[in-house]
Amino acid sequence: MAGKYSFLSLFSLLSLLTHISSTLAFPSYGSLGGLSGRELDDLVARLPQVVPPNPPGPLEFSGPKLVNDADHPWEPLRPGDIRGPCPGLNTLASHGYLPRDGVATPTQIINAVQEGFNMANSAARFATYSAHLVDGNLVTDLLSIGGKTSKTGEDPPPPAIVGGLNTHTVFEGDASLTRGDFFFGDNHSFNQTLFDQFIEYSNRFGDGLYNVSVAAELRHQRIQQSIATNPTFDITSPRFFTVFGEATFPYTFFVDGRITERETARLDMTNATLFFKDSKFPNDFWRAPAPTAGTGIEVIFGAYPIAAGRNVGEVNTFTPDPTSGDFSNPCGLYTGLVNKTIKGLYPNPTGVLRRNLIINLGFLHDAFTGSDDCPELFPYGTL
């Protein structure tokens, strides 16, 4: 089991990009989904058609490094700038590691999370292409880190959208530590009430610092809160993996990299406020000391194990789903994402869209650390 948790440390990094959906069956309003063949052909013909480039490799220098530097000053939001549910990406955009308007290519995102946080290359690639395949514009090769925007390309006709990372039941998911559930109306903005709880639990279980022990307690609390208040609460795969993984990233990526012992890293509340609320690196902040995909997910899950499952239309009706991927079947994340989510979103693509789907799916599988045990899927054939 320890080996499986080590293997799954990749998925904790998916949460740095955003909160993966708990629902694998893709809704009709998804990114370019729900279009007739004629509508899709007409739309694609009007968009800039980009051949996806090969993803970036690992950093040449992957040690600790000052990242809040003169070349990357924090700047306040301008009118039209986009931010979303992920404090890590929001911070990178506010410091110029990503385009400050919040719209980026997969290449830009992979480079940014490596340069700014020292995310391991395979984790950066898997997280980025997972997000892009379901929330980005695959024709123009652009993704919004927040809400829907025309900056990723011309809008397709309703009911389809290129929705960005805010889109519910795609990558954003329930029981976030500092964002509310979609059921309550705002799934992407900083939630002061939840952040106050973050501070409270850090005080109760970490002497005022957020660490793996605090993460285990707070993760359990947020799940129980959603079960008790959200009739649509859902933590089936892929959200099942990242609901635990996201709890690792505050002490993995938001703690200064000159603190080299990462197993016992602790985040103070002043710096937590800067990242979560202000999208801002602390002064003189250094990235993690080595490429990482997060640590401690086995401790967080093991403290309060729970099956993948959902509420069934009412609060306090949490029911396990035996068909969902879980830690005993990590390949289920990849196969479910491809066969259900992406295939449901793009049932019969043609032309440029099919080509770019095939290319991006190849990048996704190449980044999957368990690919030797998880054969590549080809839902649209090969080129």
C-alpha distances out from residue 153 to 24, 128, 157, Å: 26, 19, 12
How far is 242 from 261, CA to CA, in rounded Å? 24
**Average pLDDT estimate for 333-342:** 88
What pLDDT score does 325 carry?
81
What pLDDT score does 59 carry?
98
Categorize the per-residue pLDDT at 267 as very low, low, confident or very high, splitting at 50, 70 and 90: very high
Asked if the model's pLDDT at residue 102 lies above 90, the reply is yes
What pLDDT score does 371 carry?
60
Peptide bond into 238 cis (omega under 30): yes
More confident residue, 32 or 378: 378
Give the domain ranges of the chain.
47-368
Q: In 3D, which of 294, 125, 325, 375 has the Cα closest to residue 133?
A: 125
Categorize the per-residue pLDDT at 348 as very low, low, confident or very high, splitting at 50, 70 and 90: confident
What pLDDT score does 171 carry?
54
Tokens of 299: 């401790």
pLDDT, tens only, 41-97? 787 878 889 999 999 999 999 999 999 999 999 999 999 999 998 899 999 999 999
Q: In 3D, which of 27, 35, 38 has the Cα closest to residue 160?
A: 35
More confident residue, 220 or 29: 220
**Average pLDDT estimate for 161-184:** 78
Asked if the model's pLDDT at residue 27 lies above 80, the reply is no
**Average pLDDT estimate for 273-302:** 95
Categorize the per-residue pLDDT at 7 as very low, low, confident or very high, splitting at 50, 70 and 90: very low
What pLDDT score does 212 carry?
96
**Average pLDDT estimate for 187-213:** 95
What pLDDT score does 185 carry?
81
Asked if the model's pLDDT at residue 28 lies above 60, the reply is no
Q: In 3D, which of 222, 205, 203 has the Cα closest to residue 214?
A: 205
More confident residue, 345 or 96: 96
Asked if the model's pLDDT at residue 160 lies above 90, the reply is no
From the options 1.10.489.10, 3.30.70.2860, 3.30.1360.120, 1.10.357.10, give the CATH code of 47-368: 1.10.489.10
What pLDDT score does 324 carry?
87
What pLDDT score does 162 carry?
73
To which H or E segment does residue 156 belong? none
Categorize the per-residue pLDDT at 318 as very low, low, confident or very high, splitting at 50, 70 and 90: very high
Asked if the model's pLDDT at residue 33 lies above 60, the reply is yes
More confident residue, 220 or 30: 220
What pLDDT score does 22 carry?
38
**Average pLDDT estimate for 105-120:** 98
